A and B are shown apart, each in its own frame.
Chain A
């Protein structure tokens, strides 16, 4: 067995308790180990991605129990690229958190950060539906800690809403899994695919209920309308570097939709034929539209970026809901783009909030206005999908893939008008924040905004703005590289989509070792 597959889960699982138990009072050492851990995770992710490019689907049997009796981890092209994305996203965020001093405003930032990475990587790698639930809980419980990191009354209140909403979603997840198990008698995804195909069509009522419940759960995670209500308040009130990390969490929902509804309840399975796409597509279009309107209407930069995240999830799910090879390849490319672009905008929003507060109204000019404004401009271009950055390529691919879809007119109209409203909204925010400040009435400069209730029990080193800028430029570099190497990236995602739409290979790799 190839032990690299389990490494992205084991490494953070060991590192996080080590940071809590051994390095609890040594912030500098925590930072060193945390960054080293993320770099090592990136190395592991690159290794398994290069292994996955051969197209072979590798299976890791935990405890050497063969599927479907034991839990398996499965490494295919899609899980490898998602683990790689997690590591690529984590590196600038951890550097930014160190550079901006966010990790010093509460306790255990780095430990929670690595627990979160463990949950995300596990969710991407697992081949078992119940294990997917467990990894969802791992990433959620870490995210509860990260979301309320630094404290403060407003943030804790937003945290209560966030936790309540996600606990409800977890309960729904268990109901869905129970329903599916009671019909099929298995929760291994490959085995599930086999059993679902065997069930006679007249006995599938309960199974359809289970499939739709499961879709609802993933839609909550992916913040699809009308299940998105948790997102704006919790992202806007979370520490913004954490919100940038949460950009991958909505993608976990999108990934799960793509995985489960191409494998177990695939588009050509009679039980759920047409069920998923028919519901998901209108919901995704409305998500896009509401997100765009939210960008235009926001009065606070953090909330505006949260709506940017919703818009990009809408675009992504439009592509996913088409359930065709071309559209899935476009969606996979867009996942990379939208995760990096959302994270970049959250980091820039944090810079703005640290310097002048987040309200989108003219106030005094802030230090380093030019540099921050340039970064906001780049992030805005990427998010809105204007050339020359990867958002343009991504949206072009999505539009191209939906050209022959039955509802192509609606899809094109919503995506194009939504992009236009996004541009207007971002331009409005940028103008008010960066340009109008020179005309604003000069009020005495406010003290640096610090969170109430912040305890700095550890030694409080000065923030390193240079490191923070390096991290943000790293995210920009990621977007630029994604644009420059769009060809090879698209080749990879094309083959990934091809692999996803031939689930027979996945099933035989997991179940039939003798073959």
Chain B
């Protein structure tokens, strides 16, 4: 199971980084979401992987338990990354609609240094 989780994190990170290096915003945003999935699984695994174990300590007998803190951290991370992805989708959409161009890098003509162009 460790190998499966580890390779899942690795493959998702690799695919995410590959997509982030694309030139258009759509694959970049897909890559960002893949990266956040990878980091969520990674965070989940930082409390060590335990099967069929409750996330609470048992006062009466010594049974295995799983670390609850990473689960709380993952929950926070999921909420934040979901919200951030929504924000970047909106900003990217409005950038695309206002400039009719989905490229992520700024062309020389619309950079702030262009002569006669006062942003």
Contact surface of A with B, Cβ cutoff 8 Å: 130, 134, 137, 140-141, 144, 148, 151-161, 163-164, 167-168, 170-171, 174-175, 177-179, 181-182, 185, 187, 233, 236-237, 298-300, 302-303, 353, 357-359, 361, 449, 451, 453
Q: For the complex, what is the distance from the CA of A465 to the CA of B77, rounded to whole Å?
A: 44
Which of A156, A170, A174, A175 makes the CB contact (< 8 A) with B91?
A: A156
Q: Given A134-B76, A160-B92, check contact A174 B112 (CB 8 Å).
A: no
CB distance from A498 to the nearest CB of B (A): 34
Chain B contacts of A359 at CB under 8 A? 115-116, 118
Given contacts A153-B95, A160-B92, A174-B39, 11 further A-B contacts (CB under 8 A): A137-B84, A141-B87, A156-B99, A157-B106, A160-B104, A163-B87, A170-B80, A177-B73, A181-B46, A299-B113, A357-B118
Q: Does the CB pair B113–A171 fall under 8 Å?
A: no
- Check B70–A181 contact: CB distance below 8 A: yes
What secondary structure prevails in chain A residues at the interface with B?
helix
Instruction: Give the total of B residues in contact with A, Cβ under 8 Å.
Output: 45
User: Which residues 99-119 of B sit at the A interface, judged by CB distance below 8 A?
Assistant: 99, 101, 104-106, 110-113, 115-119
Q: Which residues of B contact A (CB under 8 A)?
A: 20, 25, 28, 32, 35-36, 39, 42-43, 45-48, 67, 69-70, 73, 76-77, 80-81, 83-85, 87-88, 91-92, 94-95, 98-99, 101, 104-106, 110-113, 115-119
Q: Give which listed residue, B92, B111, B118, contacts A353 with CB less than 8 A.
A: B118
Distance between B114 CB and nearest chain A CB, rounded to angstroms:
9
Q: A152-B119, A157-B106, A300-B113 are in contact. Are A164 and B87 (CB under 8 A)?
A: no
A20 to B96, CA, bound (A): 27
Closest CB of chain B to A140's CB: distance in Å? Answer: 8
Inter-chain CB contacts under 8 Å: number: 134
- Is A155 touching B119 in the complex (CB atoms < 8 A)? yes
Across the interface, do B104 and A236 meet the contact criterion of CB distance under 8 Å?
Answer: no
Q: Are B42's CB and A300's CB within 8 A?
A: no
Q: Is the CB of A156 within 8 A of B94?
A: yes
Closest to B35 in A: A171
Closest to B16 in A: A171
CB contact under 8 A between A160 and B118, given known A153-B99, A167-B84, A236-B112 = no
Q: B112 contacts A237, CB within 8 Å?
A: yes
How distant is the Cα of A141 from the Cα of B113 in the complex, in angstroms?
27
Asked whether B88 lies within 8 Å of A449 as measured between CB atoms, the reply is no
